[in-house]
Amino acid sequence: MSQLSLISDLRRVSAELGRDRLLVQGGGGNASLKCGKRLHVKASGHWLCDAETIDMFVELDLTKARKLASNGEENLSKAVRGESELRPSIETAMHALMPQPCVIHTHPVSLIARSLLGEDAGLPVIEYCQPGAPLAAAMAGRIATGAPDVVLLANHGLVVGAETPDEAARMTRELAFEHELPVHIRPAGVAPLPKLSGFVPLAHPLANAVACSPDSWRVLGEGALVPDQVVYLGGPACIADSVESMPEALRAYARRTGMRPALLIVQHTGTWISETASRGALAMAQMMMDLAARIPEGAAISTLSEEDEMALRGWDAEAHRQAVDQARTASKKEAAA
């Protein structure tokens, strides 16, 4: 199969996976293809669902990329071939170090939920570590003892390596489907939601049901579940006992985190998102509904630590992703105007 054909396949399967919110949310996930001495990898911050309509794959010198990755470098822009305004994905080091020709990293809700529950789904596991250089180093350790084709990243997602993009995509879908968890709550009919200053109701079929489920709001208020939740939403949801107590809940959240929440749940009432939320934040908030709905009643879960959250908030690489997301949000608004 020709290089052009393989790259075309990579773009196609990336877009297909990116359109499934149970596999990829917003600008999360990434994909790559090794062609001889070149590495084609998704650019940081871009959405996989746009892969067929936007030129989002960056071409790197594979030898240089692997050398930089082995030295613990996080930004592999020095290995980019030619001139490009795109920044390689923060996970490029991991992609470069893996030996398989095609590598696809997704965020399947089913497998992330399993990892939150402490389950490995029968797969090799890398315990949570910060994306970028720390994750690449952890993957290098796995590769040193025999390169696995599939790795579950706790509180993060799934990495699949294969010979072709279609094979990697097939494995991704099969694993996500095989380990699906039942949805424990069902859409709830409620009265029209009250208007809250600075927030709008979250568009998701389970948003109100989550607000009426003590276990679900416990899960979402306990701590950040995945790194992209911190990147796009700032951290866990703010939980208020009632509409009347919401102002104090917002103040308490700000005292604890230093920021205004993007996701707000008022118990037994509804779920809201900040009216200024980006499209990436909206996609992440919707993922939180999908995750919470799959956690069994009373189950203990693992969350990111406060130190993990702080490391992500102060990280330049994630600031870049946020900027790309804000630009995409603005362009979509202009197109709709």
* Residue 55: CATH number of its domain: 3.40.225.10
User: In the chain, count of helices (H) and strands (E)?
Assistant: 13, 11
Query: 10 and 155, same structural domain?
Result: yes
Spatial distance between the Cα atoms of 94 and 133, rounded to a whole number of angstroms: 8
Query: 291 and 170, same structural domain?
Result: no
Spatial distance between the Cα atoms of 213 and 10, rounded to a whole number of angstroms: 40
Task: Specify the residue for token string 């009643």.
Answer: 297
Residue 268's Cβ-count burial label (10 Å; 0-12, 13-18, 19+) is middle
Question: What is the extent of the structural domain holding 228?
Answer: 199-331
Query: 163 and 32, same structural domain?
Result: yes
In a domain? residue 191: no
DSSP 172-231: HHHHHHHT-----------PPPPP-TTEEE---TTHHHHHT-HHHHHHHHHS--SHHHHH
Query: 141 and 69, same structural domain?
Result: yes
For residue 34, what is the enclosing H or E element? strand 30-35
Query: 156 and 16, same structural domain?
Result: yes
pLDDT tens-digit readout, 16-41: 999 999 999 999 999 999 999 999 99
Query: 317 and 207, same structural domain?
Result: yes
Distance of CA 279 to the CA centre of its chain: 13
Task: Specify the residue for token string 């424990």.
Answer: 184
In a domain? residue 336: no
In a domain? residue 186: no
Instruction: Read off the pLDDT band of 257 (50, 70, 90).
Output: confident
pLDDT tens-digit readout, 222-248: 999 999 999 999 999 999 999 999 999
- pLDDT, average across residues 72-89: 92
Least confident of 21-25, 141-145, 168-172: 141-145
In a domain? residue 189: no
In a domain? residue 66: yes
Query: 323 and 262, same structural domain?
Result: yes
Query: 130 and 85, same structural domain?
Result: yes
Spatial distance between the Cα atoms of 53 and 46, rounded to a whole number of angstroms: 12
pLDDT value of position 158: 98
Which candidate, 69, 72, 66, places its Cα nearest to that of 37?
66
DSSP helix/strand/coil, 266: strand
pTM, entire model: 0.94
Query: 291 and 171, same structural domain?
Result: no
Query: 41 and 155, same structural domain?
Result: yes
Question: Domains in the chain: how many in total?
Answer: 2
Instruction: Read off the pLDDT band of 301 (50, 70, 90).
Output: very high
DSSP code at position 149? S
DSSP code at position 284? H
Instruction: Read off the pLDDT band of 186 (50, 70, 90).
Output: confident
Task: Specify the residue for token string 């920021």.
Answer: 259
Query: 151 and 42, same structural domain?
Result: yes
Phi and psi, residue 41, nearest 5°: -135, 145
